[in-house]
Chains A and B, each alone.
Chain A
Amino acid sequence: MSTLQEEYNRIEKYILGQLETADREDFEARLQASPELQTLVEDHKVLLDAIEEQSLIENMEQIHQDVFTNSSASATTKIFSLWSSWTKYGIAASVAILLLWGGYTLSRKQTKDQKLFASYFTPDPGLPTTMSSTDNFTFFEAMVSYKQGAYAEAIAQWEPLLNEKPKNDTLNYFVGVAHLANNNESEAITFLQWATEKENSQFLSDAYYYLGLSYLKKGNKENAIHFFKLSKHKKSTALLSELVK
């Protein structure tokens, strides 16, 4: 765990009142002395409040749709697993049948999309690993693992670097592709999204391409198409024509 991560851990525990007395006093003393730390605490508190409040709002939207909107049966699908406990309140048999049917077509679609994924996906070949400077040592060591196909290992090596530079496009890109190569498309999406944040990134187009592939593997054709369209990767066009035919 990086020191920054540890610091945020402490900040959060302080806000939530979970620090032991000694640690709390220690923290409060530092807080007194450091306006920077005060800002970090305030900002973190805003994030926690926002997550809770927005979750509440979305929760209510869901309730409203479930209970007070007549067309809710057709509009479902985006049921958050969060609300799964409600299912025990009983779903009409007709809806259950609808869902079953939906699930069936969904799984068929998934296999087709996944076949397409398998025929197109090859991991990025990686960067040349001639080590020029020592500060990049860890990065290139991980790159060696990556090139050898030891994706989990590469991810583990890159992770601490990423914690220090959460927005670095190169890191996010390769960690994302490594996750995808490691059959973890959900994780891949998180990182690849980051890799597309910088508009002038040399990885932008490829990141879009792999984002598209991640969604394809997930069976989310709509998003896949969206990202293939953004990408200038040479295989994107071919994939697009397969997807929209």
Chain B
Amino acid sequence: MRGAIQSNHLYQEDLLQAIKANDVVVLKKLYTENFPKVAAFIQKNNGNKEQAKDIFQEAMVVLWKAVKTEKFKATNATAVQGYLYMIAKNKWTDHLRSASYKKEVSSDAVMNYAEMQETHGIDEDHYDQKLQKAKLAFAQLGTECKELLSKFYFSKNSFEELAQDLGLNIASVKNKKYRCMQRLRALVIPQKQEL
């Protein structure tokens, strides 16, 4: 499959499959091919490189989520690129509008913990809050666990591959992964009490 993806005749279906599978080669291609266009647009409209990066990455996340949940079903070969550009453009326009009456607020890129605690909302918000908190916790989890969990859940490595990587047997890798998840869980979810 990867051979087909890397060739220039990239079919939309394959591209979507690859995004779903977090294929790092395809993600990199998508990023490098589309970022300059978005950056040019933002820089032409009162933005700087750093802002362009943030907006573009947010747009990538939106695309990625839409593909994963099958909300985005492309119909032609340039649809993905078009979609990315459109989201980034909208996000930047929103930002400019809000900035015109608010003083420079650095979008919602990094929501800090205190803010999260304060905001209350409906179910969806509740999920988003938890997700933000969990992302923050994962970012600070410590390299060992982070790398292991990332390889398993993001790169979709198998236990066998991880075992080989770490020079451990499969049972140990499973235990290690479990402990890392427990650690992350404890950081994110208030524990009633230990068993």
Using a CB–CB cutoff of 8 Å, the interface residues on chain A facing chain B are 1, 4-5, 8, 43-44, 46-61, 63-64, 67-68, 80-83, 85-86, 159, 162-168, 186-187, 189-190, 193-194
Beyond A47-B134, A63-B27, whether A55 also contacts B144 by CB under 8 A is: no
Q: Return chain B residues, CB-CB under 8 Å to A162.
A: 179
Docked-complex contact B182 and A49, CB < 8 angstroms: no
Q: Return chain A residues, CB-CB under 8 Å to B127.
A: 46
Docked-complex contact A53 and B57, CB < 8 angstroms: no
Q: Return chain A residues, CB-CB under 8 Å to B31.
A: 60, 63-64, 67
Instruction: Determine which of A163, A165, A194 lies in contact with B178 in the assembled complex, contact meaning CB atoms within 8 Å.
Output: A163
What's the Cα separation between A234 and B183 when bound, in Å?
30
Docked-complex contact A166 and B186, CB < 8 angstroms: yes
Beyond A8-B178, A60-B57, whether A51 also contacts B27 by CB under 8 A is: no
Beyond A82-B151, A189-B144, whether A53 also contacts B61 by CB under 8 A is: yes
A191 → chain B, closest Cβ, in Å? 8
Docked-complex contact A186 and B195, CB < 8 angstroms: no
Q: Return chain A residues, CB-CB under 8 Å to B153.
A: 48, 51-52, 55
Q: Does B92 have its Cβ within 8 Å of any Cβ on chain A?
A: no
Q: Return chain B residues, CB-CB under 8 Å to A159.
A: 175
Docked-complex contact A165 and B61, CB < 8 angstroms: no
Using a CB–CB cutoff of 8 Å, the interface residues on chain B facing chain A are 22, 24-25, 27-28, 31-32, 35, 53, 57, 60-61, 64-65, 127, 130-131, 134-135, 137-139, 142, 144-145, 147, 149-151, 153-155, 165, 174-176, 178-186, 188-189, 191, 194-195
What's the Cα separation between A43 and B188 when bound, in Å?
9
Docked-complex contact A50 and B183, CB < 8 angstroms: no
Q: Show 27 residue pairs from A and B whose CB-CB distance is below 8 angstroms, ordered by the A residue.
A: A5-B175, A8-B181, A43-B189, A46-B130, A49-B134, A51-B154, A52-B154, A53-B135, A54-B139, A55-B22, A55-B155, A56-B60, A57-B135, A59-B154, A60-B57, A63-B28, A67-B28, A80-B150, A82-B155, A166-B179, A166-B183, A167-B186, A168-B194, A189-B142, A190-B145, A190-B176, A194-B183
Across the interface, name the chain B residue whose C-beta is closest to A46. Answer: B130
Q: Return chain B residues, CB-CB under 8 Å to A166.
A: 179, 182-183, 186, 194
